[in-house]
Amino acid sequence: MRSVLITGGAGFIGSNFVRYLLAAEPAIQIVTLDSLTYAGSLENLRDLPGAERHRFVEGDIRNGDLVVQLLREHAVDTIVHFAAESHVDRSIHGPMPFVLTNVVGTTTLLDAARQVWLEDPGGPRSGVRFHHVSTDEVYGSLGPDDPAFAETTPYAPNSPYAASKAGSDHLVRASAHTEHTIERINGTPVLRLRNRLLPLVNLRHLLKLDDTSGAAIRRGAKGRAAQEAAAAKQQAAAVPPAPPAAAQIDRWPRAPRSRGRSWRRAGPAPRAEAAPVPRPLKYQFRLSTAGSGRR
């Protein structure tokens, strides 16, 4: 990762990623592409560390010619795609901008990457990454007692915003599995951020941004290997470990209660450390005569 194009880099999360990456990677060059709508501001990019290694370009991700020009001019080997129309309420009142930016814009970026990285003579064809940043909104809503979302959770978007982000997720995934696109150059990971947990007014939550940015860098550096390792870890966590023997005995199945009689264990496995239970007289007699061979 030597030259990075960051879309939506003047927004809240994107600008923090720019700042983090410049500080963490002293040799890296960054181009930020942002259309400076309601969600972006140049104030977010003031006083950057290593500002001489950063260039800002005001433009739209749907402008394919501009994206191709930037990829070629700066020999970009990594795209980190933050740019998106967001906010659920805005999408309900006007869904079309969300479709155009989140779906059409993502498709434009993928097409530009394919053109420059795969089709240009002398294109890099290896050592490149397309990093698509999504949202947990694509999974729907969680109740108070529901388990946390995982990457294997089925998609269930509940708003035009979530549906447009889910659409962009599917387009990126499809590109990673299409013969003539980014799969041929090391895959296309999708990183989902819980952006609802990062309000600008909450300083405590701002501390999470460095963790998020660091995770994005590590995920991009490792590519598909990181995805496979995360999937294996998630699958292993889904299988609960076998309980110890004592715990198994403690949960031994019980026989159903019958009328007028006390219930007893259904099987022959008593508690491992339970004190011996006094038996009726006939069992005491059998035990006392066991040594003489009497039955």
Is 136 an active-site residue? yes
- Other C-beta atoms closer than 10 Å to the C-beta of 77 total 18
State the Cα–Cα distance between residues 166 and 23, nearest whole angstrom. 32
Select which of 34, 60, 77, 136 is catalytic: 136
**Phi then psi for 31, rounded to 5 degrees?**
-115, 125
Select which of 60, 77, 85, 137 is catalytic: 137
Select which of 60, 85, 161, 169 is catalytic: 161
- Nearest alpha-carbon partner for 34 in 17, 53, 52: 17
Is 161 an active-site residue? yes
State the Cα–Cα distance between residues 8 and 133, nearest whole angstrom. 11
State the Cα–Cα distance between residues 249 and 226, nearest whole angstrom. 40
- What DSSP letter does each residue of 20-80 carry, written as one string? HHHHH-TT-EEEEEE---TT--GGGGTT-TTGGGEEEEE--TT-HHHHHHHHHHTT--EEE
Tokens linked to 35: 């259309």
**Phi then psi for 112, rounded to 5 degrees?**
-65, -40
Catalytic residue ranges: 136-137, 161
